[in-house]
A and B are shown apart, each in its own frame.
Chain A
Amino acid sequence: MSGCHDCVLASRDDTRAITVALVGPPNSGKSTLFNRLTGLRQRVANYPGVTVEQRRGRLRLGARGDVELLDLPGTYTLQPRSDDERITDDVLRGRLPGTPRPDAILLVLDSTNLARHLVLAAPVLALGLPTLVVLNLSDDLERRGGSLDAAALAQQLGAPVVPASAATGRGIETIHEFLAGRFAVPARIPLPTIQNIPACRMWAGRLASRSTYRAPAPPLWTRRLDGVFLHPVAGPLLLLAVVLGVFQAMFSAAAPLSDGLETLVGAIGGWAAAFLPAGVARDVVVQGAVAGVGSVIVFLPQIAVLFLFIGILEDSGYLARAALIADRTMARIGLQGKSFIPLLSAYACAVPAILATRTIESKRDRLATILVAPFMTCAARLPVYALIIAAFLPNTPLLGPIFGVRAAALLGLYVLGFLAAVGTARLLRSTILRGDRTPFLLELPPYRWPTLRSLGLRVVDRSRVFLTRAGTVILGVTVGIWLLCHLPLVDGKAPDLSHSVAGTIGRTIEPAIRPLGFDWKIGVGLVTSLAAREVIVGTLGTIHGIDGDAGSSGLQRALRHDLTPGGAVALLVFFAFAMQCLSTIAIVRRETGGWRYPLLQFGYMLTLAYGAALLAKVLVG
């Protein structure tokens, strides 16, 4: 390649899709810009074998063609130390199989923090790819009294520069023009040795001052708000209020939506039942597919509400403060501040919690958080707990009218799950995730108003990941389990559940679960609840020929007949610990890039569940 910087590298007439990579440090607003440019035309996947997220999106430039945008993980330098940085480096050098080398780069820098962010310009420009330097948050810079000569900077960098704001859309037209135009390689400029960070920083500082960069005043409102949110007394109390608020919203605001979805699923089932001719096919669709996927989809409103709140917390800058306040406590159990919100989310559902661990940069800490998250008492455990507790415990008041024996038992189960998570985190830290701890580093970005656009995209994106799961893995599994319960056919009809494949499995595992006080019926429930924990309630209902409902007194009577009190406690403990959730297994596989961790986690949780249930049975009798 020649040094000429006017040569056209990629022509618009070319039918090949142009790939452009977005590169920038964390907190530069890179992802906001990506969202602004691509809208809903984006796909999220993982790079093979690692936990690094690959975000691609298509930008339509009308008659000027399409551009494939690649949002690379945030990085301060191109020195490949973490998986994220290695991926960024490999993609930019065209060394990652399956990902084409980008034709051009959008280098996104925070203009309120220009000198520090310009450090990344050195290694990026050294790649020799056509580059547009996007000075993001330029409205913020001006509002806070900063300024900069973009033309002077462009001349020194030998590459075009545009002041922009991803939040308001400023500068987007220039970015479109760059993407639609003829790409030119940057002019050769003297660059510092990129391994020497202080030298790069001095180079960046010189460039900034030659571009008459005036740094903005420190964000005054951020100081004031931190005085409140990080106050020694008020800070933790406000965090508690935020946490309670999120929980309240998740369980109360999402409840009517969940009920609505349940009615809708019921209506679809009814419609399908009326439409299809009676027979096995209809039963598979109505009782298997619709009912099975329906039981998972009712969690969608909770997940959407949760991600709306996480979005508000993250985009506003509060999430970093929450992580800061929680860090001291989390450090005691071998985790860190950024694990706090994901673990909190796990009280609703482990699936969004595991997706939320993407905010944790340290791979080790992220893995530890993913591995302990399913111990938190998720919403799917509640119907199971409610049924068993109602069947075996009287509702005697303990402290006032609300807090009775049953509430105490439920609280005890929450504590049990929490303690298991703490113990497991410590165990992981002293075994497979041992090693030198990388220092905890947390940047506190200025507070900003979240934009509706970004919040909406986030909710849609996360809901889509969840629905894809529900629509593929869960669909297959629920249909599979339904078939196990209804095969082999006897005289063309489904057999009695006890003689079905599932019943046979229940009888086969009965010797193994007998020490826990479980009979084959519970065994069938354990198998079917692999799809989702609450499925055991419906299964037990089917086995006993009773409408499966946690409030059903018939089912409670049947359970009292089948289980001793010791067996009931064992069943509760088993559900507290076991990883009875294929959605979680699927998401862990996806997020850790292989079967190793989900299998390890499943085995560990099952062993722990079995051991603890056995202990409970022996102790209680």
Chain B
Amino acid sequence: MTNTLEDLPFGSDAVLDELALPPDDAARLMEMGFFPGVRVVAVRAAPGGDPRVFRVDGAEVALRRETARCLRLRPPS
């Protein structure tokens, strides 16, 4: 099973592999820095656990878990 951004433990990082989202939504995420090949760090969760905050390409961006689930990670080599 492939890991997704939702499974990334806080404080650790991984490389983004694929965005399983409709093209427009994927483009919007890519503009915010979530493009394939980028390194993403899981920073923290909002109080209550959702959304989650990620550090990506020099910025901190919050995504809901339902969105993070669609961002597949590259398996660690």
Contacts and interface: CB of A to CB of B under 8 A. Distances in A.
Interface of A: 76-77, 79, 81, 112-113, 115-116, 119, 197-198, 201, 215, 218, 222, 226, 230-233, 235-236, 324-325, 327-328, 331, 337, 436, 438-444
A327 B53 CA distance: 13
B46 A327 contact: yes
Contacts of A115: 57-58
Contact of A442 (B27, B36, B62): B62
A77 B21 CA distance: 19
B47 A197 contact: no
B27 A441 contact: no
Given A327-B46, A328-B50, A443 B27 contact: no
Interface in B37-74: 37, 44, 46-51, 53, 55, 57-64, 66-67
A440 B64 contact: yes
B25 interface: yes
B33 to A, nearest CB: 6
A76 B47 CA distance: 29
Given A116-B57, A230-B44, A232-B47, 7 more contacts: A113-B58, A197-B31, A198-B35, A198-B36, A233-B47, A443-B32, A443-B59
B29 A439 contact: yes
Contact of A198 (B30, B32, B49, B59): B30
Contacts of B63: 439-441
A596 B26 CA distance: 32
Interface string B7-34: 0000000000000011011011111110
Contacts of B67: 439-441
A198 B33 contact: no
Contact of A113 (B21, B46, B51, B59): B59
A218 B58 CA distance: 8
Nearest to A112: B58
A337 B50 CA distance: 11
Contact of A327 (B36, B51, B57): B51
A236 B47 contact: yes
A439 B21 contact: yes
Given A198-B37, A438-B28, A331 B61 contact: no
Contacts of A337: 51
Given A215-B58, A436-B22, A441-B63, A328 B29 contact: no
A356 B68 CA distance: 28
A220 to B, nearest CB: 13
Nearest to B57: A116
A444 B31 CA distance: 15
A230 B46 contact: yes
Contacts of B27: 77, 79, 81, 197
Q: How large is the interface on B (under 10, 10 to 19, 20 to 34, 35 or more residues)?
A: 20 to 34
Contacts of B66: 439
B47 A439 contact: no
Nearest to A236: B47
Contacts of A113: 57-59
B60 A444 contact: yes
A116 B55 CA distance: 13
A324 B43 CA distance: 14
A81 B24 CA distance: 8
A324 B58 contact: no
B64 A438 contact: no
A232 B44 CA distance: 10
Given A230-B47, A231-B47, A236-B47, A324 B28 contact: no
Contacts of A77: 27, 31
Contacts of B36: 198
B46 A325 contact: yes
A81 B59 contact: no
Nearest to A215: B58
Given A198-B35, A198-B36, A235-B47, A444 B61 contact: yes
20 contacts: A81-B24, A81-B27, A112-B58, A113-B58, A198-B30, A201-B35, A201-B57, A218-B55, A230-B53, A324-B46, A324-B62, A325-B46, A327-B64, A438-B25, A439-B28, A439-B64, A440-B64, A440-B67, A442-B61, A442-B62
A196 to B, nearest CB: 10
Contacts of A325: 46-48
Most buried by A among B24, B55, B64: B64
Contacts of A116: 33, 57-59
A506 B47 CA distance: 53
A76 B31 contact: yes
B32 to A, nearest CB: 6
Contacts of A232: 47-48
Among B37, B61, B62, the one with the most A-chain Cβ atoms within 10 Å of its Cβ is: B62
Contact of A197 (B35, B44, B64): B35
Contacts of A331: 64
A318 to B, nearest CB: 14
Nearest to A441: B32
Nearest to A81: B24
B64 A324 contact: no
Contacts of B31: 76-77, 119, 197
A444 to B, nearest CB: 4
A115 B57 CA distance: 8
A444 B32 CA distance: 11
Interface centre among B24, B37, B57, B58 (most CB of A within 10 A): B58
B28 A81 contact: yes
Interface centre among B24, B33, B67 (most CB of A within 10 A): B33
Contacts of B30: 197-198, 201
B70 to A, nearest CB: 8
Nearest to B46: A324
In the A-B complex, the 7 residue pairs with the smallest Cβ-Cβ separation, listed nearest first, are A76-B31, A439-B67, A442-B62, A197-B30, A444-B60, A235-B47, A198-B35
A403 to B, nearest CB: 29
B53 A324 contact: yes
Contact of B62 (A112, A236, A444): A444
